[in-house]
Structures are given as C-alpha cells and as structure tokens.
C-alpha cells in the first residue's frame, strides 16, 4: 500500500490575485477607501479649524501669526502633511466618483425601488457638493497658501508674517466673505452626510444606533462649520481687528 503523502499543488503558472487589491476593487472595498480617506480629511479639517481659531488669541489675532510661524518653521512636517493631504484628497475624489458611477450603472431601469433611488440621490448630492468644495479649495489655496490676496506682504509688530491681517482684510470684501459662507454651508452638508456614511460603512448601522449616528454626525458637522464661519463673520462685524499701520514696521503698511 502506498503511504499517504501531502503533495504541494502543482504550480499552474497563473499568478494569484492580491487579496488586498481584489478587496480594493470590490464595491464594498471602494466604500471603505472613500470612508478611510474621508476620515483622514475630517482629521485635517479638525486640525485646520483648531489652527484657524488661534486668530482669536491676542488683540490683533497674533495667535495665528505665531501658529503659522511655528508651522512654517517645521518644513518637513509641513510638506509631509501637504503631500499626504493631496494624495488622500485625490484618492477620495477618484474613488468616490467610481462609487458614484457604479451606483449610476446599477440604478433600476423600469421598476424603481425606493431605497435604491434614495441612495442614488444621496450619492449625486455628495458628488455635486464635493465638486463645489473642490472649486472652493482651489480658490482658497491660491488665496491663502499661495498668497494671491493683496495682503501677504503685511508684517506684524514682531516682524512675523501677519496672517491674521491677511485673513481679516480679505474677508472685508463682501464677495469673498459671502463666497466663504456659502462654501462652508456646502461643506457642512457634505460632512453631515459624509460623517454618518463613514460611520455606517465601518459598522455603526444597527437599527437602534443608526438614528443616533445620523444626529451625532449632523451636530458634529455643523459645530465644525460654525467654527469656520465665525471667522468671516467676526471680520465683517469688526470683532476681529487688524494691527494699525502706525504699529507696523514701515515697509509693511496697509495700502
């Protein structure tokens, strides 16, 4: 009798697909990618808001000038974060559009199923608000990160870049502050849907937990947005003031 032996399967020469790649290409995998990249973007939004709120420290918003100076002194961290943010942002948009396309292709042709229609309206709203946020971000980064605003030459009494004055004076233009407030509302809508959708993708979708998750997401999104909106509102209403010209180094007067 021939003894039983474990024999390794003969190689077929066909490469096994990478399980991670297979998951990433699946419908649920794409939703996870949108969820994880969305969660990372929310962390950025939280950090950015915390940084921006330092504009309320000091009579002329000096807090944000110190914050910006510290951030720009850490070149490696700054550029690492910027490149990471850009990569995550591209992944988020690209995968979200793929999910939207899949959703569109799977839409019912003749016999409308209510749940399906609801979810496709949801995805369409997210795509539209997402694209509007992208337009806002292009304007915003050109204005403040690239300094195309007419006030980026300003220096405060300590010789630092006067980021506070740059922001406050930019918001004195009603079109600029109006555009910001509108964009912040759109971001609030995107986030209140997005946060609850991320939490559901990660399993918080039970019958009992779902209503709480949805309400918590809406509250979280609008608290964040109130923080951002407070800055243009405080600038327009005069609650945030800029350093007067006579207290600045001569080269940095307000024209």
**Binding residues for ligand HEM, per CB under 6 A?**
45, 48, 52, 71, 82, 137, 140-141, 144-145, 163, 167, 180, 184, 187, 228, 231-232
Nearer to ligand HEM, 49 or 204 (CB): 49
Q: How far is the CB of 119 from ligand HEM (least distance, A)?
A: 25
Nearer to ligand HEM, 30 or 92 (CB): 92
Spell out a b/e string for 196-208, using b for 16 or more CB atoms within 10 Å of the CB, else e.
bbbbbbeeeeeee
Overall size of the chain counted in residues: 255
Residues 6 or more apart whose CB falls under 8 angstroms from that of 68 comprise 160, 161, 163
Q: How far is the CB of 130 from ligand HEM (least distance, A)?
A: 11
**In terms of Cα–Cα distance, which of 166, 188, 181, 38 is closest to 99?**
38
Q: How far is the CB of 51 from ligand HEM (least distance, A)?
A: 8
Nearer to ligand HEM, 123 or 231 (CB): 231
| Structure tokens belonging to residue 65 | 């000038």
Half-sphere exposure of 116 toward its Cβ, with a 13 Å CA cutoff? 12
The gap between the terminal CA atoms of the chain, to the nearest Å, is 100
CA distance 156 to 211: 49
* Partner residues linked to 155 by β-bridges: 161
Q: How far is the CB of 208 from ligand HEM (least distance, A)?
A: 32
Nearer to ligand HEM, 71 or 93 (CB): 71
Nearer to ligand HEM, 117 or 138 (CB): 138
Q: How far is the CB of 228 from ligand HEM (least distance, A)?
A: 4
Nearer to ligand HEM, 29 or 58 (CB): 58
| Structure tokens belonging to residue 143 | 């204005």
CA distance 144 to 52: 12
Q: How far is the CB of 83 from ligand HEM (least distance, A)?
A: 10
């Amino acid at each position: 009798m021939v003894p039983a032996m474990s024999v390794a399967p003969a190689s077929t020469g066909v490469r096994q697909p990478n399980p991670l790649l297979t998951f990433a290409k699946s419908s649920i995998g794409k939703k996870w990618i949108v969820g994880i990249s969305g969660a990372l973007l929310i962390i950025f939004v939280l950090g950015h808001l915390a940084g921006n709120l330092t504009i309320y420290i000091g009579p002329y918003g000096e807090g944000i000038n110190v914050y910006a100076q510290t951030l720009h002194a850490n070149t490696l961290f700054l550029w690492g974060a910027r490149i990471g943010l850009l990569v995550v942002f591209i992944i988020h948009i690209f995968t979200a559009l793929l999910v939207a396309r899949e959703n569109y292709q799977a839409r019912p042709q003749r016999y409308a199923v209510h749940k399906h229609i609801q979810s496709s309206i949801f995805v369409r709203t997210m795509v539209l608000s997402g694209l509007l946020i992208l337009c806002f971000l292009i304007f915003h980064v050109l204005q403040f990160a690239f300094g195309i605003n007419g006030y980026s030459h300003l220096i405060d009494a300590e010789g630092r870049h006067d980021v506070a004055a740059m922001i406050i004076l930019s918001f004195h233009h009603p079109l600029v502050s109006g555009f910001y407030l509108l964009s912040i509302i759109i971001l609030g809508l995107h986030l209140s849907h997005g946060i609850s959708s991320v939490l559901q993708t990660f399993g918080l979708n039970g019958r009992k937990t779902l209503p709480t998750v949805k309400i918590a997401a809406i509250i979280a999104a609008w608290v964040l947005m109130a923080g951002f909106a407070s800055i243009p509102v405080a600038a327009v209403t005069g609650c945030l003031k800029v350093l007067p010209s006579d207290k600045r180094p001569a080269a940095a007067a307000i024209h």
